[in-house]
Amino acid sequence: MPLSPISSIPVARRIIKNRYRLIGSLCENCKSMFMPPRIICPNCRRKGRMKEYEFSGEGEIYSFTILNTAPEGFEYQKPYVVGIIKLREGVLFTSQIIGKVESIRIGKRVRAVFRKMSVSEDGFINYGLKFEVIDEGSS
């Protein structure tokens, strides 16, 4: 069987830059920021002027879940945590969260790190960013 198209090589290559480096977009007209990137600013539409914008990779946990049932390519990671991160720039972004499960709470500070994301049955590996919990000592 061929790879599921969602993890196929053409797809992975296309958005590698955005996935590896957290490059989204900024609308120069209304100053809104977007991650993942958008071609069109939903606020300004034809008046929008989008350019690339690299996010800092810092943020805090906005919501999270621990998955015990995994789709193809993720079975070996079970259980794993996926969260929505509120980036420092105010934008929400979906990512895996790594760190001690007990330490994962809404509001916890996190930062982006580069990791292996999934492995398909025939060995194709997707890489991308995950967010790791920042150990704040006293917190």
Partner 1 sequence: MRKIAIIGVGQTKFGEEWTKSLRDLAIEAGIKAIEDAKIEGKEIEALYIGNMSGIFTSQEHLAALAADMAGLNPIPSIRCEAACASGSVAFRNAYLSILSGQHDIVMAAGAEKMTDIVDAGALNALMSAGDQEWEGFVGLTFAGLYALIARRHMHEFGTTQEQLALVSVNNHKNALKNEYAQFRQEITVEDVLSSPIISDPLHLLDCSPITDGAAAIILASEEAIKRLKIENPIWVLGVGQASAPLALHDRKSLTRFDSTIIAARKAYSQAKISAKDIEYAEVHDCFSINEILAIEDLGFCEKGEGGKFVEKNGINEVVKVNSTGGLKAIGHPVGATGIRQLCDLTRILREKGKYGLAQNVGGSGSTCVVTILGSKDSIKG
* Binding site residues, partner 1, CB under 8 A: 2-6, 8-11, 13-15, 19, 36, 38-43, 45-46, 62-75, 77, 80, 82-84, 91-96, 106, 117-118, 126, 128, 130
| Nearer of residues 122 and 136 to partner 1, judged by Cβ | 122
Binding of its own copies at residue 43 (CB under 8 A)?
A: no
Minimum distance, C-beta of residue 19 to its own copies, in the bound complex (Å): 23
The region of 13-21, 30-38, 59-67, 101-109 touching Zn ion under the rule CB under 5 A is 30-38
Strand partners, 64: 83
47 vs 116, which CB is nearer to Zn ion?
A: 47
The Cα 91–Cα 113 span in angstroms is: 18
Q: CB neighbours of 65 closer than 8 A, spacing ≥ 6?
A: 81, 82, 83
Which residues fall within 8 angstroms of residue 62, CB to CB, at 6 or more apart? 83, 84, 85, 86, 92, 106
Closest CA to 132 of 81, 84, 105, 98: 98
Which residue has tokens 């015990």?
A: 68
Binding partner selected for residue 16 from Zn ion, partner 1, its own copies, none, CB under the kind-specific 5 to 8 Å limit? none
Per-residue DSSP letter, 47: G
Question: Which residue in 40, 42, 65, 72 binds its own copies (CB under 8 A)?
Answer: 72
The binding site for its own copies (CB under 8 A) comprises 1, 4, 72, 121
